[in-house]
Each structure stands twice: as C-alpha cells, then as structure tokens.
Amino acid sequence: MGMLCGLLALGLGLVVSAGWDLMIGDGAAWRELAESQRQRRLHVAPKRGGVYDRNGSALAVSVEVPSVSLDAVELLRGVPSQQVPVVARQAANAIAAVLGIDAAQVERRILAKHRFAWLKRQISALEADKIRALSADAPEDRRIHGLVVEGEGRRYYPRRELAGPLLGFVAPDGEGKDGLEYALNDDLKGNAEQLKGLRDRSGRLLFSDGIEDDRAFAGHNLYLTIDQGIQYVAEHELQAAARTFEATGGSVVVVNPNTGEILALASFPTFNPNDYTESQPEQRRDRAMSDVFEPGSTMKMFTVAAGLTSGVITPTQKMYCEKGVMQIDNVTIRDTHPSEWLTIPQILAVSSNICAAKIGLGMGESKLYEAFRRFGFGQESGLPFAGEAPGTLRPRSRPWVQVETASAAFGQGIGVTNMQMAMAAAAIANGGELMEPLLVRKVSTSAGEVVREVSPHVRRRVIPKDVARAVSEMLVAVTEGDGTGTEAVVDGYRVAGKTGTAQKTDPKTGRYSIDKYIASFVGFVPAEKPIVAIAVTIDEPMVEHAGGAVAAPIFRHVAQMALKLAGLTPKTSDHTDVAVLARTPDPANIAYEALREAQGKKPAVQEVLATGAVSPGKVRIPNLTGVPARQAMKQMIEIGLTPHIAGSGLIVTQQPPPGSVVDAKSEVLLILEPAT
C-alpha cells in the first residue's frame, strides 16, 4: 500500500506540475494561441476620398461594389482525401460558370487549401446573387462552403473622359496609379486598419470591436481649382480642332492670372478612367505638363517684355528688320512678312524673327537667360503632379553663342511646357507677378473638417507694372487689323495674345522638319483687366499649321465660356472688325477676306464652268466641293496646281471656280467650312 500510494502521489505530482506549466508557466502563450484560433483579423480598407471641382461637382468618387473570395479549408472541410479532387473540380466548374472565369484556375486555388484567396473582384450584383445562391441558398448536399461576398471600394468617374489625364486612375488594389490619384494618393487613400472579431468554427465573423465610425479611416476629399464648365469646353474644342486639322495631340491650360488658379487643364488624346485598361499610355499622358516643345513666336512676347525691362528697347522706337533676311554667323534668319522699319507693337503683330533676334542680342545671352528663368522657364511649376517636365533652357554653365541667343529670342533652341507658357502669360496679364500655380484649393476630411487650404502666392516679380501694361497693349495689336491672331478675338472684348507656328525637330536628321509643326496661341482677356489667361498648343496639325488659324479659335471659344461664367457683359469694342481685312498682296489676308465673304454669302451649289478641250500647258480646275482639305490638296498637287487653304472642315468655295482653265502651277484658293 505504501508503494502504491507513493506511485499515485508521484503521478499526481507530475499531473499537477504539468498543469502548472500549462496554465501558469506557459499560460500566456497558450492564451494567445487560443485567441488567434477563435478570432479573425480584419483588414479594413477605408473609403477613398473624393475629388471635386471648384464648385463641388464630383469628378471622382468611390462606391462599394461586391467582391468574392474563397476559404478553401472551409470548402473541403469533412471531405475524404480521396474525394478532394472530385469535389474541387465540381466546385470550380460551378463557380467558374457563374463568374465567367477559368475553371482550372479556381480548381488550383481550391487545392492550395488557403484560408483566403480572391476569386473575382468588383463583380456585378447579378453575379453576387448567383454566388450567394451557391453558398447559402443551395441545399446542404449541393452547397459550396467557403464562398464570401463582401463589399469593396471601386473608383468611379461620373464625368467619364472629362479631365481623364489630369485625374489618372486607381488600380483594383486601391492605389492611385496615375495623375492626381497617384500624386496625392496618401491624402486620398485614408488609413488602413486591422481589427479583431470573434468567429465560429467555420471562420464566419460573428461580431467585431473597434469600428465606431468608419469615417475615421476614410481618405481626405480634394477640392480642385478646376471649373468643370471651362474644362469641358476646353476639351471639346481641343478635340474638334485636333480632328479637323488631323493633329496628333494638343493641350489647353486656363489660368486665373490674379490668383494662379488652374481653371482647366485639357489634353488630347484623352481616356476614360473608368475603363483605363482600354487606353494606351500616350492617351493617359497629361501633355500640358509633360510635353516639351519649342514655343516659336509666342516666346517673342516675353523677349519684348525682357527688352523693355532691361532698357534695350523703348515702346515707341522703331527697328530695322533687314527686309526680311539677316545673316548671323553662318545662319540665315528670315521673316515670313519681310519689312524694313517696324515699331515694337508691329514687331509682335507681324511676328518678326529678325527684330526679336536683335532684341535678344542687344540684351546678351546672360540677361536673356535670366529673364526667361524669371518667367519660370527651365524649371518645374511646383504643381503636385508626377511627370512634370522642367523644359530645356540651357544652363549658364555653358553660355549661348550668338546664334543661339538670337534663336532663343524668337523661340527656337529652347523647350517649354504649355503650363509654363500659361503661367508666364499670366504674369504679364496681372501686372508682372509670377504666381504659384494652384490646382488643389482645399483638402478636407470626410466629416468636412479642413485639413489644409491653399492661398494665392506670388513667386516673384518678373517685370515692372508699366512694362506689363505696355506689353499687354502691344499684344492687342496681334489680334487686330493685320495681326496674326485675329481669329482669337472675342466679340465685345479686347484680346491680348500671340500666335506661334514652330517647326518640330526631326529626330532622324537632327534638323527642323519640313511638314511637322507646333501651332500655338497664348493670350489673355479682357486686355485691360484680365480675368483669364489661356495657352493653346496643337501638335503636328496636317491640314493647316499656322497658330492663328489652328490654335486661336480654340482660345476664342474657351475665353467666351470663361467670361460668361465670370458674369462679364460684352462691351462695344473699338478694335478693327476682323470680318473686314485690308486687301494686300499678302495671300493670307486675301484668303481670309475670301473666307469671310464665303461665310456671308455661300451659294448652295457652286457653279461649275463648262468642260472642253484644254490647251497644252493649261490645267482645268476640278470640282472639289465637299471634299476634305487633305484629299483636295493631294489632288491639286497631282495635276500641277498650288493650293492655298482658308478655314477648316470641307471645301465650300474655290477661286478660280471649278472648271476654270488656268496655267499649270497656278495658285488656287480653297475655302473650307466645318460640316454641319
């Protein structure tokens, strides 16, 4: 009995010791294991903040859509090992038939026996109902366990293509991948949290603690300076012009010159962020900030402003323009409109390269470079946008030679972005101050509390007020009389601006292309007290390449919308009526006059002269009424005639008229109007 009692006491001691170690010694570890077995960790994906225009209209919002996931362990619970492949295949076929996905892929995920795996994200309501029918509503013997349908945030853009390259898009994982969605992702995505909740033996969540207000996790809302109305008109006009003139791309930037607020940032081609997988990278690129181009003649407005500021020129002086040809080193500079003596306003009006070059040479490369830098060229604007280009303004460490200084003065040999052009023009418009560009006005929480708010900020003074006012008046001459920008005139307002037609560099030869151009117009309105500055660029227009014909009309239409939204009333203007142009030997002016006449009294059907034999050396003009410009130009060149284009759209009038017999290599004016 003594030995038996001793053995029992020893055994009891061992049991007590083991229990002590289990409950007291290792209790903390076992309790943690038990908690991990009966609790489920939840990854709470917060609702992404919205993006709104300056008036509170939604540009990007997040909506909850169902997604389906799989708990393979639960699906195969209680299934004998030999039956697992059969059950997995049957379940995979049923799931794949409902979701429209690959059955073999679903089968592999089932056989992997993971507790969580996505089957399909952001499914339709009908698919969600069918999945619930498989997992919850089906009879027990045919029920597929482990299928979970839960809400997940999806980004939705209610305005479709509007501001697509500016906004960017959001990937299924909830991360911004382009545009503002990427640049301001930290503000928009919110704070992801992990919470714990009690679950049953099947892994289903019974309840959870810690979610008191889901707005605490939600991302911040962004309120942009963009005006939806102006943005729409800018995109619509840009797209129409690009298609009419068969251009590869373009951009429009609209700025409030007094505050630096970006009212519109349009780019073509564009894309629909709701279907971003259907787009190409070039469609998603915001060309206003990422595309660098040689500005051409639009740069002359800043050269003149710099020359007046430095005292190299005065507003009333005249300059000799060398009759249209000037030699610098081994380079010949030419003017499109040869002249002898021109005033400073006339230099801008007829866009003299030679006089602009003389102003630049008078300043010297150091002062000209510094002036361009003060206008913001050669540096990023500071906008919260990934991929913004600084442009190419040669650093002072490698000085310009004489011909480079001259060419930079009229916009060649340097690279700018359309955003830089708009902000520099705004500096002239507001009296000489370069503003910080503003794109995000306010950031607030989902509860409406303001996180930060941005106020207008002056980066620096660029030119004196009197110089800015003088240049503004000079730029009005560009849009009046014989100026190159008459198509930019807004009825009832005086418009200040400058056209540009710059040849692009051919990467194969390293020289300027003979048929690829950048057409541009930069200006502001009203000239006396500007409320909006607009920069327009059209890349590689094929039908017509002059900035005054291609880009200026876009400026006019966008400016009309901006003025209307600002509540301004047009006033009677004392500038020259653009419908009446002086008849001069300049073929461009003759074309414009004929175009205006055709618009006023266009015949329903143009008369075609009688046909007959044509003498040697003569050519009969074919009837091209209703034919697109490019096709007409090709046909004219093939028969030996030289075509001149006026307007856009389809041909409505020809001068000389169809059927006329003219000498070979004669010039023919083709007048076009948009198809109605």
Which are the catalytic amino acids? 297
Instruction: In the chain, count H helices and then E strands.
Output: 23, 26
Residue 485 in contact with residue 521, Cβ under 8 Å? Answer: yes
Q: Which of 531, 468, 534 is nearest to 298 (CA)?
A: 534
Q: Which of 297, 238, 341, 320 is nearest to 475 (CA)?
A: 297
> For residues 149 and 333, what is the distance between their CA atoms, to the nearest angstrom?
71
- Count CA atoms closer than 13 A to 607's CA, side-chain side: 4
SS3 state at 514: strand
Sequence-distant (6+) residues with CB within 8 A of 425 are 255, 257, 301, 522, 523, 524, 533, 534, 535
SS3 state at 424: helix
Residue 431 in contact with residue 530, Cβ under 8 Å? Answer: no
Prior bond of 269 cis (ω within 30°): yes
Sequence-distant (6+) residues with CB within 8 A of 646 are 591, 592, 594, 595, 669, 670, 671, 672
CA diameter of the chain: 145
Q: Is the alpha carbon torsion for 136, 142, 146, 151 positive or negative?
A: negative
Q: Which of 449, 420, 453, 450 is nearest to 437 (CA)?
A: 420
For residue 560, CA distances in Å to 277, 374, 382, 548, 569 come to: 35, 30, 29, 17, 11
Tokens of 136: 């919850």
Tokens of 289: 């900030």
Tokens of 509: 């030869």
Q: Where are the beta strands (DSSP E) in 285-421?
A: 318-320, 325-328, 331-334, 341-343
> For residues 379 and 390, what is the distance between their CA atoms, to the nearest angstrom?
4
For residue 587, CA distances in Å to 274, 472, 493 come to: 48, 28, 28
Distance of CA 8 to the CA centre of its chain: 86
Q: Where are the beta strands (DSSP E) in 388-437?
A: 433-435
Tokens of 157: 């853009």
Secondary element (H or E) of residue 20: helix 2-20
> For residues 161 and 184, what is the distance between their CA atoms, to the nearest angstrom?
20
Helices (H), 199-294: 228-244, 281-284, 287-290
